[in-house]
Structure 1
Amino acid sequence: LHGKKINNHTANEAINHGFALVTEERRSTGIYAYLVIGFNSLISNIRNYKNKVGLLDNSRMKSDTQWVIDSMRVKTPGHRTQIGSLSGGNQQKVIIGRWLLTQPEILMPGSYTPLRA
């Protein structure tokens, strides 16, 4: 990456090196079906939402979740909706948005259905 050899031994190392993987099996490895869209949007980047005293910055988390919903055109009543209640395509949009929030250098898709405009 950028002319340097990268050895990723853990998922955290891969994320820190700018890699993002959209898993092929979204239901078994991509989402937390009983948790809300907000959590599912932010989980790959959650450590970056801590404020100076180590608490989570709720306003920034809500803003980034809304960015995922808006930019990926997720059809949902809101960020507190359980992701498992969304269609498969909308779940996939949340997963892609999650990884875009990490600002990856390389986004590696598994098998996917193209997004419709």
Structure 2
Amino acid sequence: TLHGKKINNHTANEAINHGFALVTEERRSTGIYAYLDIGFNSLISNIRNYKNKVGLLDNSRMKSDTQWVIDSMRVKTPGHRTQIGSLSGGNQQKVIIGRWLLTQPEILMLDEP
């Protein structure tokens, strides 16, 4: 139960919609898209929330939120276009945690971060 309401999560999308977030133990195999940039990796769990009124992605908001992840999590990187696979494991983990914080979860579960 969450806030006195029974929650049944049958899919990852349902869990996210109910305010759950999970940082997995296996960062490289299930947590990142190694060949894509920090921007993509920090926004992918929340991408539907970046659509503007006509259904296009709001690039300025996406860039701003990616920068928030970099700054608030103190990710050591040359910039948001850097391929996440080139970062240290700790910095990859920071991006993943920042990704889930952007979803504003009620519950953030960390599996051996």
Same fold by TM-score greater than 0.5 = yes
Residue 17 (structure 2) pairs with residue 16 (structure 1): yes
For structure 1, the 5+ residue unaligned runs are 109-117
SS in 2 for 1:80: coil
Instruction: Please give the root-mean-square deviation of Cα atoms over the aligned residues, in Å.
Output: 0.3
Work out the percentage of aligned pairs sharing the same amino acid. 99
SS in 2 for 1:21: strand
SS in 2 for 1:74: coil
List per-residue Cα deviations over 1:11-40 (Å, max 9, x = no partner): 000000000000110100000000000000
User: Matches of 1:59 and 1:44 in 2, distance apart?
Assistant: 18
Please, what TM-score do these two structures have when normalized by structure 2?
0.95
SS in 2 for 1:84: helix
User: Matches of 2:60 and 2:93 in 1, distance apart?
Assistant: 24
Task: Quote how far apart the aligned CAs of 1:60 are.
Answer: 0.1
For structure 2, the 5+ residue unaligned runs are none
Structure 1 residue ranges, 4+ long, deviating more than 3 angstroms after superposition: none
Count of matched residue positions in the alignment of Structure 1 and Structure 2? 108
SS in 2 for 1:97: helix
Task: Quote how far apart the aligned CAs of 1:78 are.
Answer: 0.2
User: Matches of 2:37 and 2:96 in 1, distance apart?
Assistant: 12
List per-residue Cα deviations over 1:63-90 (Å, max 9, x = no partner): 0000000000000000000000000000
User: Matches of 1:56 and 1:26 in 2, distance apart?
Assistant: 27
User: Matches of 2:92 and 2:108 in 1, distance apart?
Assistant: 17
2:97 corresponding residue in structure 1? 96
User: Matches of 2:65 and 2:47 in 1, distance apart?
Assistant: 11
